[in-house]
Structure 1
Amino acid sequence: MQLEKHTLINDFPEHHHTIRHLKMNDMHFAKLFENYHQIESAVHHIEEGNEAVSDEHLESLKKSRFGLKDQLYALIVKAENAL
């Protein structure tokens, strides 16, 4: 079974131009984006069964991913509203 990746572009395709712009022009956004991507990759790797970890660790990673996604989305909306 192929698991869905939760990249920002996949989850917010209507904001792909803003996401790309912010990645290139906003260092804070770029850092959060990189952290999000690393956690997303780790979660995906675990969920595919490639690594055994405790349920608590996986849930912690997912909570971190969710928090970062919230922060990133807020920055995306703020940037779009500033236009």
Structure 2
Amino acid sequence: MLGEKHSLINEFPEFNELIHVLAKNDLHFKKAMQRYDDMDKEIRNLELINSPIEDTDMHQKKHQRAALKDELYDFLKANA
């Protein structure tokens, strides 16, 4: 769905408390989460203004976001 938020809290509600703890106490996690949030915001903005970029560029951005989300999920599972 276009313009849908993919924040970590929305994606992984079962880790809500852990996300907040790690964002406060783990610099690596905090930086990775900020990169993820920035990517998500950029993609959402592009979707809402009808993607003024090439489809291949948009797919690449979404792929990068998904890869970072997987990395963050693995980090959450390892720290749960």
TM-score norm. by structure 1 comes to 0.89
Distance 1:50 1:75 in 2: 33
Q: Is the 8 A contact 2:7 2:40 kept in 1?
A: yes
Q: Equivalent pairs: percent with the same residue? A: 35
Q: Flag structure 1 segments of 5+ consecutive residues without an equivalent.
A: none
Who is 2:69 aligned against? Answer: 69
Who is 1:9 aligned against? Answer: 9
Q: Flag structure 2 segments of 5+ consecutive residues without an equivalent.
A: none
State the one-letter code of the partner of 2:3.
Answer: L
Name segments (4+ residues, structure 1) moved above 3 Å. none
Distance 1:3 1:49 in 2: 9
State the one-letter code of the partner of 1:7.
Answer: S
Q: Is the 8 A contact 2:22 2:30 kept in 1?
A: yes
Q: CA deviation at 1:14?
A: 1.2
TM-score norm. by structure 2 comes to 0.92
The root-mean-square deviation of aligned C-alpha atoms, in Å, is: 1.6
